[in-house]
Amino acid sequence: SSDVRATEEQLCALIPRAQWSRAHHWLIYHGRRVCKARKPLCDLCKLSEYCSWRKNSSGGGEGKKDE
């Protein structure tokens, strides 16, 4: 989702409440190591099949994501 609130609601519905803190850290780590703003590593990403940015970008992982 491009809407931050909608994304949060979707994640909260999918992730058990007891795992929210851990999931928060996983997502931060993923953003720093794989889904980088300047050069995302889409080929290494386990979530790429769900990623609208990769689906809409030419070359999948090339270029710069919106910051």
In Å, how far are 5, 12, 30, 55, 59 from 8, measured between CA atoms?
5, 6, 16, 21, 28
pTM of the model: 0.70
Token readout for 11 is 């994640």
Range of 47's domain? Answer: 4-56
Residue 13, domain member (yes or no): yes
Mean pLDDT of 7-25: 95
Instruction: Look at the chain and report how many structural domains it folds into.
Output: 1
Token readout for 4 is 């931050």
Residue 1 — pLDDT band, cuts 50, 70, 90?
low
Residue 67, domain member (yes or no): no
CATH code for position 50:
1.10.1670.10
Residue 25, domain member (yes or no): yes
Residue 48, domain member (yes or no): yes
Contact, 35 vs 64, CB < 8 A? no
Helices of type H across the chain: 4-14, 20-33, 52-56
Task: For 33-62, write each residue's pLDDT tens digit.
Answer: 999 988 999 999 999 888 888 888 765 555
Token readout for 45 is 């990403």
Residue 64, domain member (yes or no): no
pLDDT at 67: 52
